[in-house]
C-alpha cells in the first residue's frame, strides 16, 4: 500500500477557503488526496506528525499516510483507538494526549486526524490542549465528517452529563477530504452523511437543493458530483461558521432538523443499530418542514418535496420508520427538553418559510409542538 | 463566617487592567476583597458559579464566598479537591468538569477558582473546556498565585511526560487578590512567593527592585506595601503578557531564574519538603546574576546586591542550601536539558546586563554553563 501513494498522479482538488482571520485554512476536496497527503501537509512546515485514527480505518490507510508523510520529511507516530462513540471519553483524551507527547510533538508540529467524526473530535481536542495547542490536520474518511464535523473547529468528548460537553474551539490548519475513500463506505453511512448535504440546501440554498434532486445518484456513485456535493457543503458550512465562529447566533441554523433528530437519537439511546445521527437528521428535516407547514409558515408542497427527496435516496422521514419504536409524544417532548432549554413553556426551533428559507424561531409554544407530534403519530397519516 | 462577609465595609482596592482586547480583564488587589467578592463577581452578569477550591482553603473561605455570591443573586456549588501538585491530573480534570456540569453551569456562567496555583491552573483549564469555554474568576490565596499564576491565562494539568503539558490559554474575566488572606500563609510560602515579586524588578524595573529592598518588611508584615508589591507584580506580568499572549517571544523573560530553578526542582523530585518552586527561583535568580557576571555581561556588584536582598528575606541563594544535596554538575545539566532544548551544544537562557536589564540569550554554550556550575560548587566559594 505504501508504494501506491507515491506512484499516484497528482489529484485534482477543489479548494474551499475558510477565511477565519489568523485561523484561516483551506479544505481540499477530491479523489485520491490521501495519496499526496504528505506533500500537502509538509507545506505547513512541521517536522513531525502524530496520526490519530481508529482500529477500522487505521489498517486501511494509516500506513500509506505515514509513508507519504515520511517521504516528505516528517517524522510520524500512529495512535489507533477503538472505533465508536464510546471512544470520545476522558480516558481516550488522556491516552491520545500522552501518546502525542510521547511522540515528541512540539508547538510547531501536527496532530493528523484520520477517520470519521469521533476521531476528528477527539484528535482535534487533544491537539487543542497538548502544550496548550498544537496544529492539526483533518483527513475525514466518512461523508458525514467530510461535510460536517471537519468544518467549524468544534472538538470535544462526551461527559456522563451529555455529548460533546467538554471540548474546545480549535480550527484545523488543513482539511483533506478524499472523496475516493467513500467508495468503501457502507451504503447506510453514505445515506446518513447525505442527509447533512441536503440540509445545506434546505437552510439557505434552494438552487443546491435542486441540484441535489438532479445529481444525487452521481454523489452516491462517486462521480464528479460527489466532489461538488462535498465542496458545496463545506462552502455552506464555512460561510455560517465565518459569520459566527463561537456559536452565539446564526450558527444555530446548522441545527435545522436536529431538534427532532437529537430527540430520536436520545430515545433510541444512541444505539446505531437502530438509528444513526444522519437518519435522525433526515426524519428531523422532514419534520421541521411538516411542522413549519402545520404552523402555516411554509407551503405543504415544499414539505412533500423534501420528504420525497430524502425517501428517494433511502432515508427515513417518518417516526414510524424508527426501528423499535419512538415512545410517546411525551417521551419525544422530554427528550427535546434535554437538548433545548424550555423557557416559560416555549422552545427555540429552526423553522422554514420554504426550501432554502430557514430561520431561528424563538418562543415556539410547547403546545404547538405537542399538537404537531400528536398529528404525526395518528394512523391516518401515511 | 458567613455573616462577617456581609458586615465588612467596602474594601479599597488597586485595580490593574490587563488590556487583552476582547479578553481584557481587571485584577483587583486589596485587603478584604473576599468579603465583597459577591458584589464584584455579580457585576459580570452570570446566574451561577461553581467554586473550585482545595481541602485546605475550602474550610477557611468557601462558605463565606458562597454566601457572598448567593446574597448577590448567584446560585453556587462548591467542589473541593485534595491539596497539592498531584491534583493537577487528568482524573481531577474529569472530576471538576463533571462537577461543573452537574452544577448546571451554562455558557454565561462562571467557574471561580479559590486557592493557590494548583487550584487556579486546574479550575481555569476546566473552565476553558466545559461547554467549550465558560468564564472564570480567580481568587488566588497565596502570594505566589497572586503575583504569578493568576496573571497570564495559562491553565493546565500535568502529564506523565512533564508538568503543565496539557492545558489551554484561557484568560479570567476577573481576578480578586485579597492580600489579607496572606496573613495566615506560612512564612516559608510567603518568602517563596516573594522571590517572584523580586523577579519583576530584576527583569526590567530597577526602581521596583530598589523599592523591594526598602519595603520588603512591610510586604511581609501586611501593610499597604503588600498591596503595592502585588499590584506592581501584576502590572509587570500583565505588560509582558499583553506583548506576547501566546508565549512566542518576550514572555520568555518571565523565566528569569527559572532555568536553574526548574533544574533544582527536578533534582529534588518536586519534593516540597526539600524545595518549593519559589526557593528554586531564588537560587536561580542569584545564579542567573552570578552566571551573567561570570560571562562578563553584568557587574559583580549587581549579583552581590541581588543575593544580599534574597538572603535578607530568608531565601536560599546557593546550591549548598538545597536540603539533601543537588547532585553533580552533570545532574544539573541533565535536568536543565529536560527543560530547555539543547541545540548543537547550546542553551537558551535569560541573562542580565544588570538589575532590571534582562534579555533572552540564545546559543549559550553548554561548556560555559558547566564551567560556571563547577565554580559554584567548589568549596572555596562561600
- One-character DSSP codes across A114-183: EESHHHHHHHHHHHHHBTT--EEEEEE-SHHIIIIITSS-EEEEEETTEEEEEEEE---SEEEEEGGGGG
Distance from CA of B28 to the nearest CA of A (A): 27
Report chain A's mean pLDDT, rounded to a whole number: 92
**B77 φ, ψ to 5°?**
-145, 150
**A169 φ, ψ to 5°?**
-85, 115
pLDDT of B3 reads 42
Among B2, B117, B114, residue whose Cα is nearest residue B63: B2
Plot region of A156 (φ>0 → left; ψ -120 to 50 → alpha; else → beta)? left
Tell me how far apart the alpha carbons of residues B317 and A227 are, in angstroms, rounded to a whole number: 66
Buried b (16+ CB within 10 A) or exposed e, B171-206: bbbbbbbbbbbbeebeeebbbbbbbbbbbbbbbbbe
Tell me how far apart the alpha carbons of residues A198 and A93 are, in angstroms, rounded to a whole number: 32
**Complex ipTM above 0.85?**
yes
pLDDT of B340 reads 60
Which residue out of A23, A48, A94 would a mutagenesis test of the B interface target, given it has the greatest number of B Cβ atoms within 10 Å? A94
Residues of chain B with a CB closer than 8 angstroms to some CB in chain A: 90, 93-94, 97-98, 101-102, 125, 128-133, 154, 156, 159-162, 165-169
**How would you write the pLDDT of chain B (382 residues) with one tens digit per residue?**
444 444 455 678 999 999 998 899 999 999 999 999 999 999 999 999 999 999 999 999 999 999 999 999 999 999 999 999 999 999 999 999 999 999 999 988 999 999 999 999 999 999 999 999 999 999 999 999 999 987 889 999 999 998 899 999 999 999 999 999 999 999 999 999 999 999 999 999 999 999 999 999 999 999 999 999 999 999 999 998 888 777 777 888 999 999 999 999 999 988 889 999 999 999 999 999 999 999 999 999 999 999 999 999 999 999 999 988 888 999 999 888 876 666 667 888 999 999 999 999 988 999 999 999 999 988 654 4
B150, B27 contact by CB (below 8 A): yes
pLDDT at residue A2 greater than cutoff 50: no
Q: Do A132 and B156 touch (CB under 8 A)?
A: yes
CB atoms within 10 A of CB A199: 30
Q: Which residue ranges of B make up the annotated binding site for NAD(+)?
A: 117-121, 141-142, 154, 163
Q: Do A161 and B131 touch (CB under 8 A)?
A: no
Q: Do B159 and A101 touch (CB under 8 A)?
A: yes
Domain A187-377 listed as CATH 1.20.1090.10: yes
**A139 φ, ψ to 5°?**
-120, 85
Annotated binding residue A343: no
pLDDT of A6 reads 45
Pairing of strands A174-178, A346-352: unpaired
Angle of helix A187-204 relative to helix A277-294, nearest 10 degrees, comes to 30
Number of H helices, E strands in chain B: 14, 11
- Give alpha helix (H) positions in B295-382: 300-312, 329-339, 366-377
Annotated binding residue A227: no
**CB-facing half-sphere around the CA of B253: CA atoms within 13 A:** 24
- Choose the most confident range, by mean pLDDT, from A4-8, A120-124, B272-276: A120-124
Pairing of strands B135-140, B75-81: unpaired
Q: Given this chain, do its domains A2-184 and A187-377 carry the same CATH topology?
A: no
Buried b (16+ CB within 10 A) or exposed e, A261-294: bbbbbbbbebeeebbbbbbbbbbbbbbbbbbbbb
Q: Which CATH number fits domain A2-184: 3.40.50.1820, 3.40.50.1970, 3.90.79.10, 3.30.1330.200?
A: 3.40.50.1970
Q: Do A168 and B128 touch (CB under 8 A)?
A: yes
Q: Which residues pair with A115 in a beta bridge?
A: A140
Q: Do B161 and A102 touch (CB under 8 A)?
A: yes
In angstroms, the Cα distances linking B353 to A165, B288, B323 are 50, 11, 31
What are the residue boundaries of the structural domains of chain B, listed by start? 2-184, 187-377
Q: Which residues pair with A25 in a beta bridge?
A: A18
Q: Which residues pair with B177 in a beta bridge?
A: B29
For residue A356, give every residue at least 6 positions away whose Cβ sits within 8 Å of its Cβ, in sequence order, or none: A201, A202, A203, A204, A205, A206, A207, A208, A209
Q: Which residues pair with A113 in a beta bridge?
A: A52, A138
Show contacts of A90-95: CB within 8 Å, 24+ apart: A90/A157, A90/A159, A90/A166, A90/B90, A90/B93, A90/B94, A90/B97, A92/A122, A92/A157, A93/A122, A93/A125, A93/A126, A93/A129, A93/A157, A93/B90, A94/B90
pLDDT of B327 reads 86
Classify residue B110 by its DSSP letter.
E
Confidence of residue A251 (pLDDT cuts 50, 70, 90): confident
For residue A347, give every residue at least 6 positions away whose Cβ sits within 8 Å of its Cβ, in sequence order, or none: A259, A336, A337, A340, A364, A366, A369
pLDDT of A381 reads 47
Angle at A246 between CA A29 and CA A121, to 5 degrees: 50
pLDDT of B5 reads 45
Q: Do B167 and A102 touch (CB under 8 A)?
A: no
Q: Which residues pair with B48 in a beta bridge?
A: B75
Task: Write out the H or E segment, with its range, that includes residue A206.
Answer: helix A206-221
For residue B298, give every residue at least 6 positions away whose Cβ sits within 8 Å of its Cβ, in sequence order, or none: B289, B292, B351, B352, B353, B354, B357
**CB-facing half-sphere around the CA of B362: CA atoms within 13 A:** 6
Q: Which residue has the higher pLDDT, A73 or A346?
A: A73
pLDDT of A5 reads 45
**Matching residue, cell 501586611:** B222
Among B63, B235, B65, residue whose Cα is nearest residue B137: B65
Which residue out of B48, B125, B132 would a mutagenesis test of the A interface target, given it has the greatest number of A Cβ atoms within 10 Å? B132
Annotated binding residue A117: yes
Q: Three-state SS for B249? A: coil
Q: Three-state SS for A98? A: helix
pLDDT of A12 reads 83
Annotated binding residue A179: no
pLDDT of A223 reads 94
**B269 φ, ψ to 5°?**
50, 40
Minimal Cβ distance to A129: which of B98, B133, B168: B168
Pairing of strands B14-18, A358-365: unpaired
Distance from CA of B126 to the nearest CA of A (A): 9
Tell me how far apart the alpha carbons of residues B197 and B208 are, in angstroms, rounded to a whole number: 9
Angle at B255 between CA B249 and CA B256, to 5 degrees: 115
Amino acid at each position: 500500500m505504501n508504494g501506491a501513494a507515491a506512484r499516484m498522479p497528482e489529484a485534482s482538488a477543489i479548494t474551499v477557503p475558510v477565511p477565519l482571520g489568523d485561523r484561516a485554512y483551506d479544505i481540499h476536496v477530491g479523489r485520491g488526496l490521501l495519496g499526496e497527503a504528505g506533500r500537502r501537509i509538509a507545506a505547513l512546515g512541521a517536522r513531525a506528525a502524530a496520526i490519530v485514527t481508529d482500529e477500522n480505518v487505521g489498517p486501511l490507510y494509516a500506513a500509506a499516510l505515514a509513508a507519504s508523510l515520511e517521504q516528505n520529511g516528517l517524522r510520524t507516530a500512529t495512535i489507533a483507538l477503538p472505533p465508536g462513540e464510546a471512544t470520545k471519553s476522558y480516558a481516550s483524551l488522556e491516552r491520545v494526549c500522552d501518546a502525542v507527547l510521547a511522540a515528541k510533538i512540539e508547538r510547531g508540529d501536527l496532530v493528523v486526524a484520520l477517520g470519521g467524526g469521533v476521531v476528528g473530535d477527539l484528535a482535534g481536542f487533544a491537539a487543542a490542549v497538548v502544550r496548550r495547542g498544537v496544529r492539526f490536520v483533518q483527513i475525514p474518511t466518512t461523508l458525514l465528517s467530510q461535510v460536517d464535523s471537519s468544518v467549524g473547529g468544534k472538538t470535544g468528548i462526551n461527559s456522563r452529563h451529555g455529548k460533546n460537553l467538554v471540548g474546545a474551539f480549535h480550527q484545523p490548519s488543513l482539511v483533506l477530504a478524499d472523496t475516493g475513500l467513500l467508495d468503501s463506505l457502507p451504503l447506510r453511512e453514505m445515506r446518513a452523511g447525505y442527509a447533512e448535504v441536503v440540509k445545506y440546501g434546505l437552510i439557505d440554498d434552494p438552487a443546491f437543493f435542486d441540484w441535489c434532486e438532479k445529481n444525487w445518484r452521481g454523489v452516491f456513485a462517486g462521480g464528479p458530483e460527489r466532489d461538488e456535493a462535498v465542496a458545496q457543503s463545506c462552502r455552506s458550512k464555512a460561510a455560517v461558521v465565518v459569520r459566527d465562529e463561537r456559536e452565539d447566533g446564526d450558527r444555530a441554523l446548522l441545527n435545522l432538523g436536529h431538534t427532532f433528530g437529537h430527540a430520536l437519537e436520545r430515545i433510541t439511546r444512541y444505539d446505531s443499530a437502530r438509528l444513526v445521527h444522519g437518519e435522525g437528521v433526515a426524519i428531523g428535516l422532514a419534520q421541521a418542514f411538516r411542522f413549519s407547514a402545520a404552523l402555516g409558515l411554509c407551503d405543504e408542497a415544499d414539505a412533500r418535496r423534501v420528504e420525497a427527496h430524502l425517501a428517494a435516496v433511502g432515508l427515513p422521514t417518518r417516526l414510524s420508520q424508527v426501528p423499535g419504536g419512538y415512545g410517546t409524544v411525551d417521551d419525544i417532548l422530554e427528550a427535546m427538553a434535554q437538548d433545548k432549554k424550555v423557557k416559560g413553556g416555549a422552545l427555540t426551533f429552526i423553522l422554514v418559510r420554504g426550501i432554502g428559507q430557514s430561520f431561528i424561531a424563538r418562543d415556539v409554544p410547547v403546545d404547538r409542538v405537542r399538537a404537531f407530534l400528536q398529528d404525526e403519530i395518528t394512523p391516518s397519516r401515511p
